[in-house]
Structure 1
């Protein structure tokens, strides 16, 4: 599918489900990796991840298009267009858009940081794993109130 076909598709979805025309630019963006699409506030452009179309098909991409059109139409009208706004949530449910897109196979996503430090209680031996380095003098054991010592993993 080319950008021209995507433009026509989004314009049609906008008319069918929102009753208002989409009058700005829509295109595919291959650089999108962790998101299905995005709405640009300043230019009012909608970008769609083409990998979603290749992997999950038209039905899933149409839900992403509806999601982005919710942002678009609410922003144009000066209404609450952010994910946390009740107007956005209500409109998204009304038109049948998806709240989140499906993860692409092979995408890494966000990895939690591995634990790099361990605090050990000198009295009872309780261990506390930490991702960031902390000063053990400022803390006490939660179990026995004993002093802590830092041990690198």
Structure 2
């Protein structure tokens, strides 16, 4: 699959996956949304639209992208059938398992980790990476309640 695909190919792919894994056609709208930042895709129930992040196709490839489409199709088909289509619903989790869809998508390599502060527990040695500074006098290790020490990178 190319780095980016046309709208027609995207609609074709989504309908093909819907038929293959759910035995039902996808009859509504699907589109790329370049503004999505922290997720691979989303389903909007009020518009019955699936929006997909094209960066996942470019950076992580076809296999991860197909997993995202299958995940969003789980939301879509359950919503149309009037069943629990949200992440916490049993129907949703069962359909994810049945279709082999991922529960979460991987982080984008381009997003990069923003951790600027590293702390280590004196007792158990667990390392914490944090974007914000932690007050080591006030906070302790979440595993063993040991004292945290700042590690210099």
Q: Tell me if both proteins adopt one fold, taking TM over 0.5 as the criterion.
A: yes
* Aligned-pair CA distance for 1:109: 6.5
Q: What aligned pairs does 1:37-116 form with structure 2 within 5 A after superposition?
A: 37-108=41-112, 112-115=131-134
CA distance 1:69–1:109, shift in 2 (3 Å): farther
- 1:3 is aligned to 2:7: yes
Counterpart secondary structure, 2:138? strand
Q: Counterpart in 1 of 2:120?
A: none
Q: Counterpart in 1 of 2:138?
A: 128
CA distance 1:55–1:91, shift in 2 (3 Å): same
* Aligned-pair CA distance for 1:112: 4.7
Counterpart secondary structure, 2:16? helix
Larger radius of gyration: 1
Q: Which runs of 5+ in 1 are unaligned?
A: 119-126, 131-153
Instruction: Give distance in 1, aligned partners of 2:92 and 2:109.
Output: 29
Instruction: Give distance in 2, aligned partners of 1:21 and 1:52.
Output: 24
Q: Counterpart in 2 of 1:14?
A: 18
Q: Counterpart in 1 of 2:37?
A: 33
Instruction: Give distance in 1, aligned partners of 2:82 and 2:45.
Output: 12
Q: Which runs of 5+ in 2 are unaligned?
A: 115-129, 141-153
Residue by residue over 1:20-43, the C-alpha shift from the partner in whole angstroms, topping out at 9 and shown as x without a partner, is 111101011111111000000100
Instruction: Give distance in 2, aligned partners of 1:112 and 1:67.
Output: 29
Residue by residue over 1:111-149, the C-alpha shift from the partner in whole angstroms, topping out at 9 and shown as x without a partner, is 65433x67xxxxxxxx3149xxxxxxxxxxxxxxxxxxx
